[in-house]
Amino acid sequence: MNLDKLLNDFQKDLSKTKKSDGLEELRIKYLGRKKGILTKITATIPSLTADERGGVGTKVRKARDRIERLLEEAIRRDKDSREEKIYDVTIFGNKVDHGRLHPISLVIEDIKEIFHYLGFVWTDGPEVESDFYNFQMLNIPPNHPARDTQQTYYIDENTVLRTHTSNMQIRFLKQHKPPIRALFPGRVYRRDMPDATHLPSFYQLEGLLVDKHASMTDLLGVLDFFAKRFFGQQTKVRVYGHHFPYTEPSIEVEVLHPKKGWIEIMGAGMVHPNVLKNVGVDPRKYRGWAFGMGPDRLVMLRYGIEDLRILYSSSNNFLDQF
């Protein structure tokens, strides 16, 4: 078998081949596993006599290498010469259905992030709480009129569904010696008729700082820091006097909403000395401040949602927007 002729034949065939399928056919014709010309030649080698065999193997291998290289080059040239496809970039992409976090989670994370800069940590505790921790330790004795402002679900005489996460102020202070800075996000309950702004269970987030030096000016500074980071640097904040049994002085905080005007976003104040006393912290040595806000309400303000119930509705139309 004249391998030089074979290579010549191959080059002639190659020069005639134009399309990429032709190149594949050519590969099969010469190198195909069963009927390839060169494969057949290789198969005859063992039947040759030792004399005949001398150097044939090497020649065959060289021929194969050459053919393979020429084919590869031809394939590359063929690819290069093909035209670039032009896409219509204005068509709709296919919808990718992916997982998402609920906006309440997103907002709580944002709040944590902002307060983490100021050294706050966070934790949660029981939702079914003793009357003692939910009210009495917070300077709200049984039958106190202040209880009217927090419509309460009872399990029994001494057990309530917590009306605020302030129970965590007590629990946290019982476990950690001041100075402390902590956030308490969690689910709370109020015995209210469900409507666009009320639900029997919703989210609240409280913050607490207890230290040797704690003042109203610090509280106001921190709330301003928060509001500007959460709502935007231009946000205007104002506060006014209010009453909570567990803080003294007490304030409520409003931000100026571009469309709605001044809207109340949280309550706050200096921790009442009685509350510190109740958890065994000496109010002559330590002071504190605390604030409480509704992440649900912040979600509604941020995304322009008018009905609280949508947040707890689980419809894809709602969930897919965040």
Pick out residues in 179-198 that bind another protein (CB under 8 A). 179, 187, 189, 191-194
148 binds another protein (CB under 8 A): yes
Nearer to another protein, 55 or 261 (CB): 261
Nearer to another protein, 30 or 202 (CB): 202
The least CB distance from residue 16 to another protein, in Å, is 41
Half-sphere exposure for 105 (CA within 13 Å, toward CB): 5
Nearer to another protein, 26 or 180 (CB): 180
248 binds another protein (CB under 8 A): yes
Stretch that binds another protein, among 27-35, 60-68, 81-89, 208-216 (CB under 8 A): 208-216
Nearer to another protein, 61 or 309 (CB): 309
Stretch that binds another protein, among 22-30, 32-40, 65-73, 151-159 (CB under 8 A): 151-159
Instruction: Pick one of 111, 199, 208, 290: the residue that binds another protein (CB under 8 A).
Output: 199
200 binds another protein (CB under 8 A): yes
Instruction: Tell how strand 180-189 and strand 121-122 pair up.
Output: parallel
**How many binding residues for another protein (CB under 8 A)?**
82
287 binds another protein (CB under 8 A): yes
Residue in the structure block whose two tokens are 């009306």: 163
What's the start-to-end Cα distance of the chain, in Å? 73
Phi/psi region, residue 274 (left: phi>0; alpha: psi -120 to 50; beta: rest), is alpha
216 binds another protein (CB under 8 A): yes
314 binds another protein (CB under 8 A): yes
Instruction: Walk across the sheet containing 121-122 and list its strands.
Output: 121-122, 180-189, 201-211, 287-293, 261-271, 247-257, 237-244
Tokens of 136: 């009495």
Instruction: Pick one of 166, 169, 250, 278: the residue that binds another protein (CB under 8 A).
Output: 250
x-or-dash string of contact with another protein, 222-241, rule CB under 8 A: x-xx------------xxxx
The least CB distance from residue 155 to another protein, in Å, is 6
Residues 87-146 that bind another protein (CB under 8 A): 97-102, 104-105, 109, 116, 118-123, 126-130, 143-146
Nearer to another protein, 64 or 254 (CB): 254
The least CB distance from residue 272 to another protein, in Å, is 7
Instruction: Pick one of 32, 68, 235, 273: the residue that binds another protein (CB under 8 A).
Output: 273
308 binds another protein (CB under 8 A): no
CA 78 to chain centre: 47
> What dihedral angle (degrees, nearest 10) is formed by the CA atoms of 253, 256, 262, 268?
0
Cis peptide before 249 (omega within 30 of 0): yes
b/e burial code for range 21-47 (CB count within 10 A of at least 16 → b): eebeebbeebbeeeebbbbebbeeeee
Amino acid occupying residue 213: H
Nearer to another protein, 32 or 126 (CB): 126
* Closest by CA position to 127, among listed 56, 202, 63: 202
